[in-house]
Amino acid sequence: MKEKQAEQVLDRVFEKTGLNGLAPEWRVYEECRFDHCNLAGADLSGLVFRSCTFESCDLSLAKLAGTGLQEVRFANCKLLGLQFSDCRKLLLRINFDRCMLKLSAFIGLELKNTIFVDCDLQEADFTGANMSGAEFGNCDLRQAIFFHTNLEKADFRTAFNYSLSPEANRIRKARFSISGLSGLLDIYDIELD
């Protein structure tokens, strides 16, 4: 007996919809746009999003077990507490613009050259992630966790409120502003004037 192939949705716009607006048989979304959708708490496990854009959406606490995010852009989205580390690792590629990412987890992910612009990343967890070449443009990193994180060539020049240990992370050729140096030195409990 042949297993029914999952239906693919191509080049479609979803506006102001919730999980009910997505049919259960649709497993792959390619080149789709999600605009002002409320997917907070939704179970997106096993779905695949390729070359999709989420704009002004709420995906807070959505379940991402085995979810494929391939070339996905999030703009002006609320993504509180998302466990990106539960996503499918193969071909994972995501970028963020003006997003609320408090308490989100990127633990152990390969996120080379990922771009975060104007994002709130307070208490986000990047433990063990490969963030080499990542850009944290004008991002709030208050209490974000960087531990055994590869930050080589990452750009922190306009990021603020970060605190990371040069000894517990790889920071070779990472870029920092003079005003942000305190975020590299605060673990030593020294005072800068």
pLDDT score for 68:
97
* 94 and 1 fall within a common domain: yes
Q: Are residues 5 and 50 in the same domain?
A: yes
pLDDT tens for each residue of 30-48: 999 999 999 999 999 999 9
DSSP 45-67: TT-EEES-EEES-B-TT-B-TT-
Q: Which domain holds residue 183?
A: 101-193
User: Is the domain of 30 the same as that of 120?
Assistant: no
Instruction: Kindly state whether residues 117 and 178 are assigned to the same domain.
Output: yes
In whole angstroms, what is the distance from residue 111 CA to residue 115 CA? Answer: 9
Whether residue 134 sits in one domain with residue 105: yes
Name the pTM for this structure. Answer: 0.90
> Does residue 107 sit in the same domain as residue 187?
yes
Domain boundary among 61, 76, 100: 100
> Which of the four pLDDT bands, split at 50, 70 and 90, describes residue 18?
confident
pLDDT for the residue numbered 149: 98
Question: In terms of domains, do 91 and 36 share one?
Answer: yes
Q: Between 180 and 163, name the one with better pLDDT.
A: 163
Per the structure, the count of domains in the chain is 2
Q: Which tens digit of pLDDT belongs to each residue from 49-58?
A: 999 999 999 9
126 and 140, same domain (yes or no): yes
Same domain for 7 and 86, yes or no, is yes
Q: Which of 100, 124, 145 is the last residue of a domain?
A: 100
Q: What is the mean pLDDT of residues 7-18?
A: 92
Indicate if the pLDDT at residue 3 is higher than 50: no
Match 């080379």 to its residue by tokens.
112
Residue 183 CA, chain-centre distance (Å), reads: 22
Strand partners, 72: 94
Does residue 112 share a domain with residue 92?
no
Specify the CATH number for the domain of residue 192: 2.160.20.80
